[in-house]
Chain A
Amino acid sequence: MLINLVSFLQYNAAYGNTRQASFLNRENRINLEMGGQTVEIFQLKNTNDFKPTETIGVDDKKIDRNSAETSHRQNSITMMEPGFEFFTRFTYCQALLFKSWVEASDQVAKKLPDVKRDSKNSKEISTLHIKIYEETFTNLFKSPEYASNLGKMINASMSLIRNYKVVSEKNNVDFDKKDPLNKNKL
C-alpha cells in the first residue's frame, strides 16, 4: 500500500510540470483534486511510442496552466514531505541496525576464544551469539536515538497513509489494484 502511494506521489511530482497539453485526442482521463482545484490527467490517443512526460498533460481549458502547475507541484511536494521524512528515518534506523550488527559480530568474535571448541559445544557458541546480539539490539531499541527515529518514522508513515486516503478517496483511485492508474493500458 505504502509503495503504491509513494509511486503515485512520484508519478504526480514527475508529471506535474508536463507541458504537452493538447485538447484533442484524449483518453483515460483522471481528475485529480489538488489544493481545491481539479486537474485532469489524460493520455493522448494513438500514441504507440509511450513517453509519459510527453503524453500526459494538464487540462488548461479548465484552469490556468501556470496555476495548475504551481498548485500541482506544491501539492506534490507537500504530499511527498512525509515520504522524505519516512525514508530519512527509515534509512537512519537501518544504518543503526547495521552498525549494531557489526558491533555484535565483533564482540562475538572477541569472545569466541574463551569458548572451548569441540563438537559438543555448538550450543554454547549459539548461546553466546544469541546473548550478545540480544543485548546489543535490545540496547539499541531502548536508546533514545533509535526510539526517536523509529517514532518519527511511524509518525511520517501515518501522514503518508492519510495522504494516500485523501488522494484515493478524492480521485476514486483504488491503490490496492495492481495498476491503479491503468498505466499498462497507457
Chain B
Amino acid sequence: MTLQQETNPLDHQMQMADLYMGISKVLPLLSSVNEVTNETTPHDVVFQVDKVRLLRYKSNTASKYKVPVLIVYAFINRPYILDLENKSMIKNLVDNGFDIYLLDWGTPDAEESTLTIDDYLKRYLDKCVDTVRKISDSKKITLFGFCMGGTFSTIYTVMHKEKVKNLITLAPPIDCSKDTTVFGAISKFLDVDNIVDTLGNIPSSMQYQFFMMLKPFKHFVGKYYEISQRTADNDYMKDSLRLEKWLWDTAPLPGEVFRQWVKDLYQKNLLVHNGLKIGQTTIELQKIDIPLLNIVAEFDHLVSPESSLALNKLVSSKDNTPMSFPAGHIGLCASSYAQREVWPKLIQWLEVRSQNEL
C-alpha cells in the first residue's frame, strides 16, 4: 500500500516537525563534548619550535622497521582525529611496529599571520624531519600527509627528496581544476587579498561557515537525527561526542598560507602547471620518483578524489599506488570502515617499504 491513497498534505510537514524536534532534544547533550578525551595513545613531545610540536608515540615493543613515519597533519581542525579512542589510526600503526611521529602545527595567532608556506616548510617541517632522522638514526623517513598536510608533504618531497624514502598522501588537493566541492566553487570568487589584508588569520568562525555548507543536511540534520535515535547507546554516544568535539575545534588558519593556498592552488592551479614557487624553488611534481601511496575517498566532500588522484599521474615514481575507497574524507582515517578496510592495506604497503632506508 502506498502513501498516495491515505496521506494528507500535512503528513510530510508533521514528519519533518518530529525530525527537527528530535534534533532539538539531542543538541543539549552535545554540550558535554568537553568531558570526552582525545589523543589516546601515549606520546612524548620530542621537539618544539614556536607553537609547532613534534610528537613521538610510545610503543611497548621496539620498532620492527628501520624507517620512521612522520605524519603531517593539515592546518584545519586538530590532528587528534588520527588518534581517537577505539578508532586510532596512530595506535594501529604503533601496534604494528612502526616508529610514529606527528607534526602538530599548534594554534597560530598574529605572529604566524605573515608566515608563508615556504616559512612553514623551512622553519618547521624541515626541522621536524631532521629531528625525526636524528632520533631514529635514519637517513630517510616516510612522510605521511593528511589533506592539506598531504599537499605540503608532496611539495616538501620535491624540495628534499634526499630525506624522504616513501611518500604517503591521504586526500591531498593537487589538481584544483578538477575539484567539484563547494569550497572549490566558492574559492574561485573569493578576493583572497581583501580577506587576508582585512582579517590576518582566517578565524575559526569563518571556517565553520564554510564547513556548514559542505554537507548541510547530512551533517546538521541527518547526523543529529541519528544521534537522537541512539542516545541509549553509550559507546555510540561517546564516539559521536569525540567526533563532535573535533569538528568544532579548529585553529585560525595562518593568513599568508591561506592567501597562497587559495590563489596559487585553487585559483591558478599552479601545482599542476609547474608554476608554484616556494621560496626560490619551482615545484615540479615529476621530480618525485620515490614510492608513492595516494589514498583517496570516493565520497570526499572536502577534496574531490579527481583532484587528489592527479598526483599519481604527475609524479615519475615507478612504485606508484593510487588507492580509492568508498568512504568520506573523515571516513578514511577515523571510522570502523577505515579500521577494517583502509589501515590494513596501508600497513601492508608500508611494511615492505620500511625495512631499510635506502
Contact = CB atoms under 8 A, between A and B. Distances in A.
B4 interface: yes
Task: Enumerate the 10 nearest inter-chain pairs by beta-carbon distance, A residue then B residue, closest first.
Answer: A151-B189, A113-B4, A134-B217, A117-B3, A158-B198, A130-B222, A147-B185, A142-B185, A155-B191, A141-B182
Interface in A107-166: 108-109, 112-117, 122-123, 125-127, 129-130, 133-134, 137-138, 141-144, 147-148, 150-152, 154-155, 158-159, 161-162
B233 interface: no
B222 A151 contact: no
B195 A122 contact: no
A148 B2 contact: no
Nearest to B6: A117
B62 interface: no
Interface string B161-198: 00000000000000000001110011011110011011
Interface band, chain A: 20 to 34
Q: Tell me the interface secondary structure of chain B in the complex.
A: helix
B191 A126 contact: no
Contacts of A143: 185
Interface band, chain B: 35 or more
Contact of B221 (A113, A130, A147, A162): A130
Nearest to A134: B217
B3 A133 contact: no
A141 B225 CA distance: 23
A127 B15 CA distance: 11
A141 B215 CA distance: 10
A108 B12 contact: yes
B216 interface: yes
Nearest to B190: A151
Contacts of B1: 116-117
Contact of B186 (A112, A134, A147, A159): A147
7 contacts: A114-B3, A116-B3, A117-B7, A127-B222, A129-B16, A134-B222, A137-B216
B19 A129 contact: yes
Interface of B: 1-4, 6-7, 9, 11-12, 15-16, 18-19, 180-182, 185-186, 188-191, 194-195, 197-199, 213, 215-218, 221-222, 225, 229
A158 B217 CA distance: 28
Contacts of A117: 1-3, 6-7, 11
A147 B189 contact: yes
B185 A141 contact: yes
Contact of A133 (B2, B186, B217): B217
A144 B3 CA distance: 37
A122 B199 CA distance: 45
Contacts of B4: 113
A133 B182 CA distance: 15
B221 A133 contact: yes
Contact of B189 (A113, A133, A150): A150
Contacts of A154: 190-191, 195
B247 to A, nearest CB: 17
A147 B15 CA distance: 32
A159 B222 CA distance: 36
Contact of A141 (B2, B12, B186): B186
Given A113-B4, A116-B3, A151-B189, A122 B15 contact: yes
Contacts of B189: 144, 147-148, 150-152
Contact of B18 (A109, A122, A127): A122
B197 to A, nearest CB: 8
A142 B180 contact: yes
Contacts of A138: 182, 215-216
B217 A125 contact: no
B186 A151 contact: yes
Interface string A32-48: 00000000000000000
A158 to B, nearest CB: 4
B12 A130 contact: no
A117 B1 CA distance: 8
Contacts of A113: 2-4, 7
A144 B7 CA distance: 38
A146 to B, nearest CB: 8
Given A130-B217, A142-B185, A161 B16 contact: no
A137 to B, nearest CB: 5
Contacts of A151: 186, 188-191
